[in-house]
Amino acid sequence: MLGGYRDRVAWVDLTSGDVAYQGIDKEDARKYIGGRGLGVKYVFDNGPQVEPFSPDNILCLMTGPLTGTDVKMSGRIAAITKSPLTGTVLDSHQGGWSGARLKWAGLDGLVFKGQSEAPVYAYVENGEVTLHDASDLWGKGTHETVEVLFARHGQGAKEAEEEIAAHKRRGDLSVMCIGPAGENLSLFGCIMNEHDRASGRGGTGAVAGSKKLKAVVIRGHRRDRPRPANEEAFREADKAALAQIMDERVVTSPRKGGGSVYGTNVLMNMVNAIGAMPTRNSQGTYFGPHEAISGERIRETILVNDPTCHACPVACKKEVEITEGPYKGLHMESVEYESAWAFGANCDNSDAASIAKMIDQCNDLGFDTIEMGNVLSMYMEATQKGYVEDHGPGLAWGDHTAMVALIPKIAAREGVGDLLAEGTERAAKEFGHPEIAMTVKGMAIPAYDPRGIKGMGIGYATSNRGACHLRGYTPAAEVIANVLGPAELTDPLEWKGKGELAVIFQNVHTMTDCLNICKFSTFAESLDSFAAQFSAVTGLTYTADDLLKVGERVYNLERYYNNLAGLREGSDYLPERFLKEPATGPGSEGQVCELDQMLVEYYQVRGWINGVVSEEKLEELEII
Q: Is residue 62 part of a domain?
A: yes
**Burial (Cβ within 10 Å: 0-12, 13-18, ≥19) of residue 262:** buried
Q: How many CB atoms lie within 10 A of CB 617?
A: 20
- Residue 616 pLDDT > 80, yes or no? yes
Average pLDDT of span 616-620:
98
Which of 197, 224, 251 corresponds to the end of one domain? 224
Q: At 66, give phi and psi (nearest 5°).
A: -90, -15
Q: Is residue 229 part of a domain?
A: no
Average pLDDT of span 355-363:
98
Q: Is residue 232 part of a domain?
A: no
Q: Are 398 and 347 in contact (CB under 8 A)?
A: yes
- Co-location of 503 and 598 in the same domain: yes
Q: How would you label 320-329 residue by residue, b for 16+ Cβ within 10 Å and e otherwise?
A: bebeeeebee
- Provide the Cα torsion 281, 284, 285, 291; round to 10°: -80
Which of 201, 224, 247 corresponds to the end of one domain? 224
Q: Is residue 143 part of a domain?
A: yes
Average pLDDT of span 594-606:
98
- CATH code at 365? 1.10.569.10
- Co-location of 354 and 472 in the same domain: no
Q: Are 93 and 114 in contact (CB under 8 A)?
A: no
- Residue 8 pLDDT > 80, yes or no? yes
User: How many domains, the chain?
Assistant: 3
Instruction: In whole angstroms, give the CA distance from residue 183 to residue 366.
Output: 9
Instruction: In whole angstroms, give the CA distance from residue 477 to residue 505.
Output: 9
Q: How many CB atoms lie within 10 A of CB 30?
A: 14
- Co-location of 361 and 380 in the same domain: yes
- Co-location of 207 and 290 in the same domain: no
Residues β-bridged to residue 192: 177, 198
Average pLDDT of span 15-34:
97
- Sign for the pseudo-dihedral over CA of 129, 101, 95, 173: positive
Q: Is residue 41 part of a domain?
A: yes
Q: Is residue 275 part of a domain?
A: yes
Q: How confident is the model at residue 354 (pLDDT cuts 50, 70, 90)?
A: very high
- CATH code at 191? 3.60.9.10
- Co-location of 384 and 289 in the same domain: yes
- Co-location of 434 and 471 in the same domain: no
- What's the pLDDT score for residue 163? 52
pLDDT digits (tens, 9 = 90+) for 123-180: 999 999 999 999 999 999 999 999 999 999 975 545 555 554 543 444 799 999 999 9
Average pLDDT of span 403-414:
98
Whole-number percent of the chain with pLDDT over 90: 93
- What's the pLDDT score for residue 288? 98
- Co-location of 435 and 460 in the same domain: no
Average pLDDT of span 5-25:
98
- Co-location of 216 and 335 in the same domain: no
- What's the pLDDT score for residue 312? 96
- Co-location of 44 and 151 in the same domain: yes
Is the preceding omega at residue 210 within 30 degrees of 0, hence cis?
A: no
All residues at 6 or more sequence positions from 326 whose CB lies less than 8 Å from its CB, including other chains? 353, 401
Whole-number percent of the chain with pLDDT over 70: 96
Q: Is residue 234 part of a domain?
A: no
- CATH code at 525? 1.10.599.10
- Residue 577 pLDDT > 70, yes or no? yes
Which of 444, 475, 490 corresponds to the end of one domain? 444
pLDDT digits (tens, 9 = 90+) for 285-325: 999 999 999 999 999 999 999 999 999 999 999 999 999 99
- Co-location of 545 and 569 in the same domain: yes
- Co-location of 420 and 487 in the same domain: no
- Co-location of 419 and 469 in the same domain: no
- For residue 562, the enclosing domain spans 454-573+594-620
- Residue 214 pLDDT > 50, yes or no? yes
pLDDT digits (tens, 9 = 90+) for 508-551: 999 999 999 999 999 999 999 999 999 999 999 999 999 999 99
Q: Is residue 119 part of a domain?
A: yes
